[in-house]
């Protein structure tokens, strides 16, 4: 039977509009379209998946079918899937990483990095990270969160996200939660597992998170550091030079004790301190009075000592804790509270200061 004429260019231009859902790039550009063949009104499209058994195969299939559905010459579409070879995957990741694959993420795909640091644990650093990330994302920016708290990760729970990220030839594809890209050690181990057995690999894990995650184009990457100025904080500071940082503290007086240590970090590395966020500043009693449960002055004191602005004061609210436990930050909720309004204001100051 005679081969039918069909417009190869038209088919390819339609396929070029189909995006790989994880990599967010055209399947044509990514080299995933191996061949197209037409016979008797039947079009066969050969697709090479980045990894065999890719979980998004069905989505890619239906997107291709949709993209080609209105070409009248095509009466039937068959999609043959195979997987890329190791060599092809290597070329793909090279292409994703850009010209210099050894270059750290901070310089390439991410416009602004915001380290979230604190002198001690339990001050609400992770809570502040996810809510500021959410508030910035709500303002139309592309945002990611890197949970650098390898031992005490809590970002997956706070953003209500579970799962195993796809890894293509050492390039890690972040998961997505409310449009925010997320990477955490929590995605690589089960909840009951201890991270301790990975002890020697911790530094490697952090540096890998810093260099091998495909963030695509981000406006802001928030990094939740472990408390204090331990090894992980130093690894991050060292790898991601030229970044911004905010400090989280509670209102207890004496917060400057931690400031000197963090100050050393700033001096040693090229970090721009944007300001202090005071958390758990007060509790708004039902009669409208502010109760200063954890005292007052910590945020102001720290900002004066560091000569950086006090960006805002977040009240104690049950909704914050609940949002963290339920996996939906209050900054994303449509019901505003004094705390979510304050997160919004701080987000705007960060956008103004970081650019």
125 binds ligand ATP (CB under 6 A): yes
Nearest distance, CB of residue 315 and ligand ATP, angstroms: 6
The CA-to-CA distance between both ends of the chain, in Å, stands at 63
Cα–Cα distance, 124 to 121 (Å, whole number) = 8
Cα–Cα distance, 64 to 345 (Å, whole number) = 43
50 binds ligand ATP (CB under 6 A): no
Nearest distance, CB of residue 6 and ligand ATP, angstroms: 58
Question: Long-range contacts: 338-346, Cβ < 8 Å, 24+?
Answer: 338/284, 339/131, 339/314, 339/315, 340/131, 340/135, 342/312, 342/313, 342/314, 342/315, 343/131, 343/132, 343/134, 343/135, 343/312, 343/314, 344/135, 344/138, 345/312, 346/132, 346/135, 346/277, 346/311, 346/312
Cα–Cα distance, 311 to 317 (Å, whole number) = 19
Q: Which is nearer to ligand ATP, 15 or 155 (CB)?
A: 155
Subset of residues 252 to 281 that bind ligand ATP, contact rule: CB under 6 A: 279-280
295 binds ligand ATP (CB under 6 A): no
Stretch that binds ligand ATP, among 28-36, 48-56, 120-128, 167-175 (CB under 6 A): 120-128
Cα–Cα distance, 160 to 27 (Å, whole number) = 29
Stretch that binds ligand ATP, among 115-123, 170-178, 229-237, 288-296 (CB under 6 A): 115-123
Subset of residues 172 to 201 that bind Mg ion, contact rule: CB under 5 A: none
Q: Which is nearer to Mg ion, 122 or 179 (CB)?
A: 122
Q: Which is nearer to Mg ion, 126 or 166 (CB)?
A: 126
93 binds Mg ion (CB under 5 A): no
Q: Which is nearer to Mg ion, 92 or 145 (CB)?
A: 145
The count of chain residues that interact with ligand ATP, using the rule CB under 6 A, is 21
Nearest distance, CB of residue 223 and Mg ion, angstroms: 12
Q: Which does 321 bind (CB under 5 to 8 A by kind): Mg ion, ligand ATP, none?
A: ligand ATP
154 binds ligand ATP (CB under 6 A): yes
**Residue 15 phi, psi dihedral angles, 5° rounding:** -65, -30
Q: Which is nearer to Mg ion, 16 or 189 (CB)?
A: 189
Residue nearest to Mg ion (CB): 126
Q: Which does 184 bind (CB under 5 to 8 A by kind): Mg ion, ligand ATP, none?
A: none
Subset of residues 101 to 140 that bind Mg ion, contact rule: CB under 5 A: 125-126
Q: Which is nearer to ligand ATP, 96 or 248 (CB)?
A: 248
**Residue 115 phi, psi dihedral angles, 5° rounding:** -80, 135
Instruction: Find, among 247, 231, 224, 259, the residue nearest to 309 by Cα.
Output: 247
Residue nearest to ligand ATP (CB): 121
Subset of residues 197 to 236 that bind ligand ATP, contact rule: CB under 6 A: 227
Q: Is the dihedral of CA 203, 207, 209, 212 positive or negative?
A: negative
298 binds ligand ATP (CB under 6 A): no
Strand pairing class (175-177; 180-184): antiparallel
126 binds ligand ATP (CB under 6 A): yes
Subset of residues 310 to 329 that bind ligand ATP, contact rule: CB under 6 A: 314, 316-317, 320-321, 324
Residue 45 neighbours by CB under 8 Å, 6+ apart: 15, 33, 35, 36, 64, 77, 78, 79, 80
Nearest distance, CB of residue 333 and ligand ATP, angstroms: 14
Q: Which is nearer to Mg ion, 126 or 229 (CB)?
A: 126
Which stretches of the chain bind ligand ATP, using CB under 6 A?
118, 121-127, 149, 152, 154, 227, 279-280, 314, 316-317, 320-321, 324, 339
Which stretches of the chain bind Mg ion, using CB under 5 A?
125-126, 154
């Amino acid at each position: 039977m005679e081969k039918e004429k069909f417009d190869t260019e038209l088919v390819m231009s339609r396929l070029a509009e189909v995006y790989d859902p994880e990599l967010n790039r055209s399947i044509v550009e990514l080299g995933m379209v191996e061949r197209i063949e037409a016979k008797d009104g039947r079009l066969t499209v050969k697709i090479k998946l980045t990894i065999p058994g890719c979980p998004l195969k069905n989505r890619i299939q239906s997107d291709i079918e949709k993209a080609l559905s209105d070409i009248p010459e095509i009466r039937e579409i068959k999609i043959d899937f195979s997987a890329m070879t190791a060599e092809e995957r290597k070329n793909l990741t090279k292409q994703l990483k850009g010209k210099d694959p050894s270059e750290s993420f901070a310089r390439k795909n991410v416009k602004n990095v915001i380290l979230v640091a604190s002198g001690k644990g339990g001050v609400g650093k992770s809570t502040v990270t996810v809510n500021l990330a959410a508030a910035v994302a709500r303002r139309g920016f592309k945002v990611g969160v890197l949970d650098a708290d390898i031992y005490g990760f809590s970002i997956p729970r706070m953003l209500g996200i579970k799962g195993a990220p796809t890894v293509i030839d050492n390039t890690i594809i972040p998961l997505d939660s409310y449009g925010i890209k997320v990477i955490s050690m929590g995605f690589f181990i089960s909840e009951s597992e201890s991270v301790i057995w990975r002890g020697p690999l911790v530094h490697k894990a952090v540096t890998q998170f810093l260099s091998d995650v495909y963030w695509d184009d981000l406006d802001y990457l928030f990094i939740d550091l472990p408390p204090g100025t331990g090894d992980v904080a130093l690894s991050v500071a060292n790898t991601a030079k030229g970044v911004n940082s905010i400090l989280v503290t509670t209102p207890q007086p004496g917060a400057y004790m931690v400031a000197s240590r963090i100050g050393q970090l700033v001096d040693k590395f090229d970090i721009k301190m944007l300001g202090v966020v005071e958390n758990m500043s007060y509790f708004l009693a039902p009669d409208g009075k502010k109760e200063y449960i954890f005292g007052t002055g910590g945020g102001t004191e720290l900002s004066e000592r560091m000569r950086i602005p006090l960006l805002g004061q977040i009240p104690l609210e049950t909704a914050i804790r609940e949002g963290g436990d339920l996996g939906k930050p209050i900054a994303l909720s449509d019901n505003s509270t004094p705390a979510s309004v304050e997160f919004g204001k701080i987000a705007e100051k960060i956008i103004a200061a970081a650019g």
